[in-house]
Amino acid sequence: MADIVDTRTDAGEALARATETLGRGVPVAIPTETVYGLAADATNPLAITRIYEMKGRPRFNPLICHMADLAMAEKHAVFDPLSRTIAEAFWPGPLTLVVPIRPESAIHPLARAGLDTVGIRIPKGFASRLLAAFGKPLAAPSANTSGRISPTMARHVAEDFGAKLELVLDAGPAVVGLESTIIKVEGETIRLLRPGGLDAADIERVTGRPVQRNETAGATIEAPGMLASHYAPDAPVRLDADDVRPGEVLIRFGGTPLPGEGQAALVLDLSPSGDLAEAAANLFGYMKQADATGAASIAFSPIPVTGLGEAINDRLQRAAAPRG
């Protein structure tokens, strides 16, 4: 098993061990406010290859490159005025911007899956301290085996990768709990490539422009990781449940009981008070808890599609999609 170093009690040791390990081209699992990431030096092709191998991730699926600040980001990519407005409003935070790569950038083409664009994010919290100390961009997909639920706790990461991983930095449960919102500006159009931890309505408010959604979730491979079946627990998922079947796990929302709860294997409520941010933070951990019961299926009651509910429902659709 990987060593787990707590960034809250042992920040100095966490920084020293992480920079040393990353410097050897070895991936390190790091906390971010969205989910835990499996980070490696974005300029080192061997380090990036190790990320793809450890995750079992298809190499046509590019990685998000994390930066310490906007100055670092602008060394690697070109920001049009609209992208810069969005960056200044929401970074650091749960937002990824897809922008054109600069020809002189040292980010390796393997990290970008050969694209002439790069997905950039400036995270909050300990990750930003690590990025400043390391001084180079870190390519970091979510720290889970490809196709599985993203980890919101250090323990999830250590359990998923076992002996394949040397080091996990632990900053406690991820605050947001959903992956970043991915945005690409095309001319005057702001496109939503993936709904996530930043409410797209906030981007609309700041820019005064609509954010354009894809017609069908997963229909495009513009963000190539957005395959229909993703974020999957082991058990089949049943959506919009209005009752619970015997032996099922129920994950509900808003404190409303459902018929049949007495015979459920487990009942969890994403947010008894109906708070979507709380529901987002609990979602992936509850899916893992549901799986751990060994139940034959997991039923979800409906969750509103407003605000962060858009991203929550996107992840539920993928969890329920036919498995490939």
Residue corresponding to tokens 């909050």: 124
Helices (H), the chain: 11-23, 45-55, 70-76, 81-90, 126-134, 154-161, 200-207, 276-292, 309-320
Counting contacts by CB under 6 A, is residue 62 touching ligand TXA? yes
Instruction: Output 142 or 313, the one with its CB closest to Mg ion.
Output: 142
180 binds, among Mg ion, ligand TXA, none (CB under 5 to 8 A by kind): ligand TXA
Counting contacts by CB under 6 A, is residue 180 touching ligand TXA? yes
Instruction: Output 96 or 313, the one with its CB closest to Mg ion.
Output: 96
Among 7, 44, 83, 142, binds ligand TXA (CB under 6 A): 142
Q: Are 263 and 209 in contact (CB under 8 A)?
A: no
CB of residue 24 to ligand TXA, shortest distance in Å = 21
Q: From residue 113, give the alpha-carbon distance in Å to each of 49, 57, 116, 195, 214.
A: 11, 11, 9, 21, 22
223 binds, among Mg ion, ligand TXA, none (CB under 5 to 8 A by kind): ligand TXA
d(CA 42, CA 291): 34
Question: What is the total count of residues that contact ligand TXA (CB under 6 A)?
Answer: 29
Instruction: Output 59 or 164, the one with its CB closest to ligand TXA.
Output: 59
Identify residues 262-321 at the interface with ligand TXA (CB under 6 A): none
Counting contacts by CB under 6 A, is residue 117 touching ligand TXA? yes
Instruction: Output 114 or 255, the one with its CB closest to ligand TXA.
Output: 114
226-248 burial string, b = 16+ CB within 10 Å, else e?
bbeebbbbebbbeeebeebeeeb
Counting contacts by CB under 5 A, is residue 83 touching Mg ion? no
Counting contacts by CB under 6 A, is residue 179 touching ligand TXA? yes
Enclosing H/E stretch for 167: strand 167-170
SS3 state of residue 200: helix
CB of residue 306 to ligand TXA, shortest distance in Å = 21
Among 34, 44, 83, 142, binds Mg ion (CB under 5 A): 142
Q: Which of the stretches 6-14, 85-93, 140-148, 272-280 binds Mg ion when contact is defined by CB under 5 A? A: 140-148
Counting contacts by CB under 6 A, is residue 120 touching ligand TXA? no
d(CA 93, CA 309): 18
CB of residue 305 to ligand TXA, shortest distance in Å = 21
Q: Which of the stretches 74-82, 217-225, 235-243, 313-321 binds ligand TXA when contact is defined by CB under 6 A? A: 217-225
Q: Which two tokens stand for residue 207?
A: 């820019």
Q: Which two tokens stand for residue 126?
A: 């300990």
Among 5, 22, 28, 32, binds ligand TXA (CB under 6 A): 32
Q: Which two tokens stand for residue 54?
A: 């450890």
d(CA 129, CA 123): 10
User: Which residues sit opposite 95 in a β-bridge?
Assistant: 181
Contact residues for 297 (Cβ-Cβ < 8 A; gap 6+): 235, 236, 237, 238, 245, 248, 249
Counting contacts by CB under 6 A, is residue 63 touching ligand TXA? yes
Residues that bind Mg ion (CB under 5 A): 142
Residues that bind ligand TXA (CB under 6 A): 32, 34-35, 37, 61-64, 96, 98, 112, 115, 117-119, 121, 140-142, 179-180, 182, 193-194, 222-226
